[in-house]
Amino acid sequence: MAYQITVIKGDGIGPEIVDETIKVLDAVGEKYGHQFNYERVLMGGESIDAYGVPITDEAIAIAKKSDAVLLGAIGGDTTTSPWYQLSPNLRPEAGLLKIRKELGLFANLRPAYLYEELKGACPLKEEITKGGFDMMIMRELTGGIYFGDRKTEEVNGVMKATDILTYDENEIRRIAKWGFDIAMKRRKSVISVDKANVLDSSRLWRKVVEEVAKDYPEVKLEHMLVDNCAMQLVRDPKQFDVILTENMFGDILSDEASMVTGSIGMLSSASLAEGKFGLYEPSHGSAPDIAGTGKANPIATILSAAMMLRYSFDLDEEAAKIEAAVGQVLKEGYRTSDIYEEGTKKVTTSEMGSLIAQRV
Ligand code: NAD
**Both 83 and 29 in a single domain?**
yes
Distance 79 CA to ligand 1 centre (A): 14
C-alpha distances in Å from residue 293, one per residue of 290, 347, 357: 6, 12, 21
**Both 273 and 306 in a single domain?**
yes
Residues spanned by the domain of 217: 123-260
Cβ–Cβ under 8 Å, residues 204 and 256: no
* Phi, psi for residue 176 in degrees, rounded to 5: -60, -40
pLDDT at 8: 98
Cβ–Cβ under 8 Å, residues 107 and 244: no
pLDDT band at 50 (very low <50, low <70, confident <90, very high): very high
Q: What pTM, to 2 d.p., does this model score?
A: 0.93
From 260, 285, 316, the end of a domain falls on 260
**Both 248 and 271 in a single domain?**
no
Asked if 200 is an active-site residue, the reply is no
Question: Is the confidence at residue 117, as pLDDT, over 90?
Answer: no
pLDDT at 122: 85
pLDDT in tens, 138-153: 999 999 998 899 999 9
Region 176-185: what's the mean pLDDT?
95
Residue nearest to atom 6 of ligand 1 (CA): 287
| 254 CB-contact burial (10 Å; exposed 0-12 / middle 13-18 / buried 19+) | buried
Q: Which amino acid is residue 72, in one-letter code?
A: G
Q: Which amino acid is residue 185, in one-letter code?
A: K
**Both 310 and 256 in a single domain?**
no
| d(C-alpha 28, C-alpha 329), whole Å | 16
pLDDT in tens, 304-321: 999 999 999 999 999 999
Region 150-165: what's the mean pLDDT?
96
| d(C-alpha 47, C-alpha 96), whole Å | 12
Pick the closest to residue 182 from 248, 231, 240 (CA basis). Answer: 240
**Both 300 and 253 in a single domain?**
no
**Both 137 and 252 in a single domain?**
yes
The one catalytic residue among 9, 23, 98, 195:
195
Cα 276 versus chain centre, distance:
15
Question: Is the confidence at residue 280, as pLDDT, over 90?
Answer: yes
**Both 128 and 254 in a single domain?**
yes
Residue 224 lies in a domain: yes
The one catalytic residue among 57, 168, 255, 314:
255
Question: Is the confidence at residue 129, as pLDDT, over 90?
Answer: no
Question: Is the confidence at residue 1, as pLDDT, over 90?
Answer: no
Residue 113 lies in a domain: no
Q: What is the CATH number of the domain that holds 161?
A: 3.40.718.10
Residues 6+ apart with CB under 8 A from 51: 42
The one catalytic residue among 227, 236, 289, 316:
227
Mutate to test the pocket of ligand 1, among 80, 81, 284 (most ligand atoms within 8 A of CB): 284
Distance 208 CA to ligand 1 centre (A): 37
**Both 255 and 285 in a single domain?**
no
| 159 CB-contact burial (10 Å; exposed 0-12 / middle 13-18 / buried 19+) | exposed
pLDDT band at 25 (very low <50, low <70, confident <90, very high): very high
From 199, 227, 260, the end of a domain falls on 260
Cβ–Cβ under 8 Å, residues 18 and 72: yes
Asked if 227 is an active-site residue, the reply is yes
Cβ–Cβ under 8 Å, residues 284 and 264: yes
Distance 306 CA to ligand 1 centre (A): 21
Question: Is the confidence at residue 253, as pLDDT, over 90?
Answer: yes
Calculate the CA dihedral of residues 323, 346, 31, 309 and round it to 10 degrees.
Answer: 30
| d(C-alpha 10, C-alpha 7), whole Å | 9
pLDDT at 195: 98
Residue 227 lies in a domain: yes
Question: Is the confidence at residue 196, as pLDDT, over 80?
Answer: yes
Share above pLDDT 70 across residues of the chain, in percent, rounded to a whole number: 100
**Both 129 and 66 in a single domain?**
no
**Torsion over CA: 274, 275, 278, 283 (sign):** positive
